[in-house]
Copies of this chain bind each other. A is one copy, B any other.
Amino acid sequence: MKFNNITLVIAMEAEAKPVIEELNLTEDTSYCPDMPMRGWTGQFNEIQLSLVINGKDPDTNLDLIGTQAATLATDYAIRQYHPQLLINLGTAGAFGENGSEIGDVYLSRDYVVFHDRRVPIPGWDKQSIGFFEVLDTTELALKEGFKSGIVSTSNSLDMPPIDEKNIRALGGEVKEMEAAAVGWVARLHDIPMFCVKAVTDLVDSGIPTEEEFRQNLNLATGNLKGAIVKVLNYLAD
C-alpha cells in the first residue's frame, strides 16, 4: 500500500493538537473559512498530508462532536484536499471483557457501523447500520502491535440498554462518535478509509464514561500521536 495524499479526520482540538505538533502541520485558513471546521496541511516523507477537525460551536465555544459535524468536516476535506485515503483518528471506549485496556490503540476491522440508527424496515435496517468497509490494515496491525476491532458509532457518550444490545449484535469492539459518518462520506466519494482509535474508557467498567474520558484523554492522545507516525511510515513505504 502506498498513498501520496492522505487526510486525517479528527473530532476534537485536544485530540488533534499532539498530532498536529508531532507532524509539524501548518493551519490552512482556506479550508471552509465560513464554517467552524479547521484544517492543517504538511508533508510526511512523500505523503501530502491534511488534517481537519470539527472546530467549535459558535455559541458555546465547545468542540463540535458527533456524526453531523464529522459528516461536514469530511465532505469539506475531500472537496478541498482530494485525498486518496482518509484516516479517522480519535479516542474511544472499549470493552474490558474483550481484554481492552485504557490507552490501547485500535485499528478498525472489516467495517464501521452505526449502533444508533434503527430503522426496522427491510433494506433500510441494513442501510441505516451502514457496514461501510474499511481498508484492510491487518498487516499493519500485526507489524506494529496494534489491536484491531469493529468500530461502532453513535451520537451519544453513554450506553443505554438498546445501544449495548445493538453494539453486541454488531460485534462492536470500539465505541465512539464519528467513524461511521466519516465512512459513509468516504464511500459516497469512493475513497478508502480506516480508523485509528485510542481507548480513553472501558464502557463496561461501571465508571461513567465522562469521568474516564477526562482522566485518560492525555494518555490516549499521546498514544494516538505515536501511533499515527507508525501508521504513516507504513503507508509511505
Contacts and interface: CB of A to CB of B under 8 A. Distances in A.
How many copies make up the complex? 2
A99 interface: no
Interface string A200-223: 000000001010000000000000
Nearest to A124: B62
Given A75-B72, A128-B155, A156-B116, A121 B60 contact: no
Interface string A113-135: 01011111101101110000000
Interface residues of A, number: 43
Interface in A137-164: 154-158, 160-162
Contacts of A65: 119, 124, 128
B72 A119 contact: no
Contacts of A40: none
Interface of A is mostly: loop
A123 B66 contact: no
Contacts of A161: 160-162
Nearest to A126: B60
Nearest to A123: B62
Contacts of A188: 35-36, 58
Interchain residue pairs A-B with the least CB separation, the first 5? A118-B156, A160-B162, A117-B155, A68-B71, A119-B157
27 contacts: A34-B189, A36-B188, A58-B188, A60-B123, A60-B127, A62-B127, A64-B127, A67-B67, A72-B75, A72-B185, A116-B154, A116-B156, A118-B156, A118-B157, A118-B160, A119-B157, A119-B210, A120-B157, A120-B158, A120-B208, A121-B157, A128-B155, A128-B156, A160-B160, A160-B161, A161-B161, A161-B162
